[in-house]
Amino acid sequence: MNASLPGAPLLAAANLTKSYGNSPALTGVSLEVRPGEATAVMGASGSGKTTLLHCLAGIILPDTGSVRLLSAGSDAPAEITSLDDAARSALRRTEFGFVFQQGLLIPELTAGENVALALMLNGTARPVAEQQAAAALAALGLAGMEGRRIGELSGGQAQRVAIARAQVNGARVLFADEPTGALDSRTSADVMALLLQSVAGTGRALVVVTHDPEVARWCSRVVTLADGRIVADTAGVVR
């Protein structure tokens, strides 16, 4: 019961457990994702999807178990679970990208500024960051829209800005939590196509949490959680 692609994993989680008080959110979850793989994480509300995503990305630490990231040009994987807060934040700025249902984009800033900010936080000078941001937006169909404020964009356009921001630093793993939750089905399909496009043929991996079977159908692999455990791991419909 493992529909993963062959090859070396990029991110490997082993035996993750996490409880909030007395209630377990994850109980012994192991999951490896590989370059080029798009993994949908499905399951009922409260099954542990977001907790798993946050553990994989080093946003929270599991109670037990490990998450390792295989770093480019190094044989030694980074043990995310043994890094301190600052090191995990640094990793999130450089290796990981995030697309959530909403939020995260700063509404008072323009599309270009939102994307450029991710680069500037990594030390890129503003003019260069703005140029790269405009190019990243153009690649996602938002050419010439870098000057628009987020509030002046449609939901689908705002998600494109979020995707641009998530990948502009060269992230090797994209994490998305219900990225289409606020979109109509047509716009959802567009956003999923763009997310998959940024994974196909690159060394990236995508982990997308969704409760929408239509979204999961876009992924090469579907992992289903129930009560904090993986209960199914199947090949998706490859498009």
Binding residue for ligand ADP, selected from 11, 29, 33, 49, defined by CB under 6 A: 49
Q: Write down the least CB distance from residue 47 to ligand ADP, Å.
A: 4
Q: Report the distance separating Cα 174 and Cα 103, nearest Å.
A: 17
Contact predicate 52/233, CB 8 Å: no
Contact stretch for ligand ADP (CB under 6 A) within 20-28, 65-73, 93-101, 143-151: 20-28
**Of 47, 50, 81, 198, which one interacts with Mg ion (CB under 5 A)?**
50
DSSP states of 23-91: EEEEEEEEEEE-TT-EEEEE-STTSSHHHHHHHHTTSS--SEEEEEE--TT-SSPEEGGGS-HHHHHHH
181 touching ligand ADP, by CB under 6 A: no
Number of residues that bind ligand ADP (CB under 6 A): 11
- How far from 6 is each of 67, 121, 189, CA to CA, in Å? 19, 35, 27
> In the complex with Mg ion, which residue's Cβ is closer, 124 or 188?
188
CB of 49 to Mg ion, least distance (A): 5
Among 46, 77, 155, 181, binds ligand ADP (CB under 6 A): 46
